[in-house]
Structure 1
């Protein structure tokens, strides 16, 4: 048998072997504050279901919502703000939704700072705190919660000149970690995951911080329902708890 004939004879077999190794991709759009915790969650799912591969996209929840409305692929959407899931539901884009997680808002600063903050109303008199990172309230849920809490306390306009706005909560955290700002409003889970900041104050937000998960109606992979269900199982919920998230 010539080499050419041997190659032609083997091609169908090689094609079948290659097809057998292909995995079903499930695309998930998730709030940037879920970046760390989703790694062990997806690893656990893929170990039990090796035929699947989770493909995540992380960004500000409002940005992800806009991208989905514009046609970006997402089989599952996990938002840090119910408003953005509400908008997709009003557009008849959801098959199912569930309140998956909870969180808390905190004010953090670099670990070497020695100031003491007893309450939110202390901030205007803290002249040594010159800059505060905050997510863009129009797109970033953590920023929206911070603005709501500050407005309720009558402090937002007083502090606005100190704000350094970021495109997502992870970037706000990085501003503090790199000493580019003196403080930041972030989620408690972000503070727990960082080794270079301290939590100065837990913020009472007017609305509870809830992360809804949504299964998209026109998803490309029907099998995405398997991962959507896994997110609600005890194995995944325990991982979320270990990373500081609350379970509603």
Structure 2
């Protein structure tokens, strides 16, 4: 072998060795970054919470507080009447947690195996009040509902809206319901009843005390005695088909912390006994 061929072969051999050494010493590109991203993705959880409309304002504020506690959790609320929400869950709508304004709808779901029974708890209590537009000075109590000046009385739909069911109980207990049937205007949820009164589309309405508290356009003229209706209790539970049951339970647990309780109480709720 002449010198020229030997030199060329030596150069090729040296280049190959350097290339192999370089590959052996270089770490897999972005391995640490990829692992970090995978962990972050795995820890990120999206929860869908179905909530009775009457708790909307408090729950929106609680969402902000919870984001500070658990920034990896994204919460999406589904507000509506408890009856409609329960039907959605029964029909398979993706839901992680259900907060109802009535034990009836939670009882139905539990009997159907749609919620985790050991996650269920009574969270809040409320009261029923009679409200009128701020400028209405004619109505001072429940007995005034029979006056000719009162032509429209708004309540929630009794069959699907818990507030409507409680309102019917109140009016029936006071022996007023039958005489008011022609005056009744039904709302799809308690916030719609509140809106009817705020806009003057009705003369008077029955809503939860907490709903009246958030509106500056209505005033409370009477509170229904507790003996005139069933206890207004808000049960909460993790839904059986939740794909994130552990995170869902953590959110439910947060609602019993001092932070959440302070928010609920600021909106007029009391803790369930």
Same fold (TM over 0.5): yes
Quote the Cα distance in structure 2 between the aligned partners of 1:159 and 1:243: 31
- List aligned pairs for 1:48-197, cutoff 5 A: 48-95=69-116, 96-118=119-141, 120-124=142-146, 126-197=147-218
- Corresponding residue SS for 2:109: helix
- The structure richer in strand per residue is 1
Q: Which moved more, 1:80-89 or 1:222-231?
A: 222-231
Which structure 2 segments of 5+ residues have no match?
A: 1-28
Q: How far apart are 1:218 and its partner, in Å?
A: 2.2
- Corresponding residue SS for 2:57: coil
- The structure richer in helix per residue is 2
Equivalent position to 2:250, from 199, 214, 226: 226
Q: How far apart are 1:206 and its partner, in Å?
A: 2.2
Q: 2:8 maps to what in 1?
A: none
Which structure 1 segments of 5+ residues have no match?
A: 1-8
Quote the Cα distance in structure 2 between the aligned partners of 1:63 and 1:218: 18
Equivalent position to 2:262, from 225, 238, 241: 238
Equivalent position to 1:24, from 31, 45, 53: 45
Quote the Cα distance in structure 1 between the aligned partners of 2:45 and 2:229: 41
Q: How far apart are 1:18 and its partner, in Å?
A: 8.9
Equivalent position to 2:235, from 192, 204, 212: 212
Quote the Cα distance in structure 1 between the aligned partners of 2:214 and 2:243: 33
Q: Report the count of equivalent residues.
A: 237
Q: Which moved more, 1:213-222 or 1:137-146?
A: 213-222
Pairwise CA RMSD: 2.0
Q: 1:3 maps to what in 2?
A: none
- Corresponding residue SS for 2:186: strand
- Corresponding residue SS for 2:270: coil
Q: How far apart are 1:217 and its partner, in Å?
A: 2.3
- Cα deviation code 1:34-56 (max 9, x no counterpart): 11110111111111110101111
- Cα deviation code 1:214-246 (max 9, x no counterpart): 112221112111101101122111110011001
TM-score (norm 2): 0.82
Quote the Cα distance in structure 1 between the aligned partners of 2:248 and 2:206: 33
Task: Name which one, 1 or 2, has greater alpha-carbon Rg.
Answer: 2
- Cα deviation code 1:20-69 (max 9, x no counterpart): 36831111100011111101111111111101011110000000000000
Quote the Cα distance in structure 2 between the aligned partners of 1:239 and 1:144: 26
Quote the Cα distance in structure 2 between the aligned partners of 1:161 and 1:37: 34
Quote the Cα distance in structure 1 between the aligned partners of 2:137 and 2:39: 59
